[in-house]
A = this chain, B = another copy of it.
Amino acid sequence: MISASEDIETFLRQHFAKRGGETRSLSPQLVEAMAYSLFSGGKRFRPNLCLQAAMAFGGQAQEAIPYAAAIELIHTYSLIHDDLPSMDNDDIRRGKPTNHKIFGEALALLAGDALLTEAFYIIAQSYSSRAQLSGPLVLCLSSAAGMSGMVGGQAMDMSLGAPLHSIEGALLTHRGKTAALIAAALEGAAVITQLNTSQIEVARCLGESLGIAFQVRDDLLDREMGSANSVLSYWSEGETNAYLDDLLKDAQEMVQTLPPGSEELLTFFSYNRERQI
Could you tell me which A residues sit within 8 Å of B by CB distance?
19, 22-23, 25-31, 34, 77, 81, 84-87, 104-107, 109-110, 112-114, 116-118, 120-121, 123-125, 127-128, 131-132, 134-136, 138-139, 142-143, 145-148, 151-156, 158, 160-162, 172-173, 176
In the bound complex, residues from chain B placing their C-beta under 8 Å from that of A77 are 113
The answer to whether A116 and B117 touch across the interface, beta carbons within 8 angstroms, is: yes
Selected from B27, B84, B86, B87, the residue in CB contact (under 8 A) with A160 is: B27
**Copies per assembly:** 2
Given A106-B160, A121-B138, 19 more pairs with CB closer than 8 A: A25-B172, A26-B155, A29-B160, A29-B162, A34-B147, A77-B113, A81-B109, A85-B86, A86-B104, A86-B106, A110-B155, A112-B113, A113-B151, A117-B147, A117-B151, A121-B143, A131-B134, A134-B135, A138-B138
Q: A30-B160, A124-B139, A151-B30 are in contact. Are A117 and B146 (CB under 8 A)?
A: yes
In the bound complex, residues from chain B placing their C-beta under 8 Å from that of A173 are 26
29 contacts between A and B (CB under 8 A): A22-B148, A23-B147, A23-B148, A23-B152, A26-B148, A26-B161, A26-B172, A27-B160, A28-B161, A29-B162, A30-B147, A34-B147, A81-B110, A84-B86, A86-B106, A86-B109, A106-B160, A110-B151, A110-B158, A113-B151, A114-B151, A114-B152, A117-B146, A117-B151, A118-B142, A121-B146, A128-B135, A135-B135, A138-B138
Majority-rule SS of A interface residues: helix
The answer to whether B106 and A87 touch across the interface, beta carbons within 8 angstroms, is: yes
- Kindly state the separation between the CA atoms of A142 and B113 in the bound complex, as whole angstroms: 11
Across the interface, name the chain B residue whose C-beta is closest to A140: B124
- Kindly state the separation between the CA atoms of A113 and B153 in the bound complex, as whole angstroms: 13
- Kindly state the separation between the CA atoms of A162 and B31 in the bound complex, as whole angstroms: 12
Selected from B120, B124, B145, B151, the residue in CB contact (under 8 A) with A136 is: B124
In the bound complex, residues from chain B placing their C-beta under 8 Å from that of A22 are 147-148
The answer to whether A142 and B155 touch across the interface, beta carbons within 8 angstroms, is: no
Selected from B27, B114, B125, B145, the residue in CB contact (under 8 A) with A117 is: B145
Selected from B26, B86, B153, the residue in CB contact (under 8 A) with A26 is: B153
Query: 5 nearest interchain CB pairs?
Result: A27-B161, A117-B146, A86-B105, A134-B135, A26-B152
The answer to whether A155 and B27 touch across the interface, beta carbons within 8 angstroms, is: yes
**Smallest beta-carbon distance A114→chain B, Å:** 4
The answer to whether B161 and A29 touch across the interface, beta carbons within 8 angstroms, is: yes
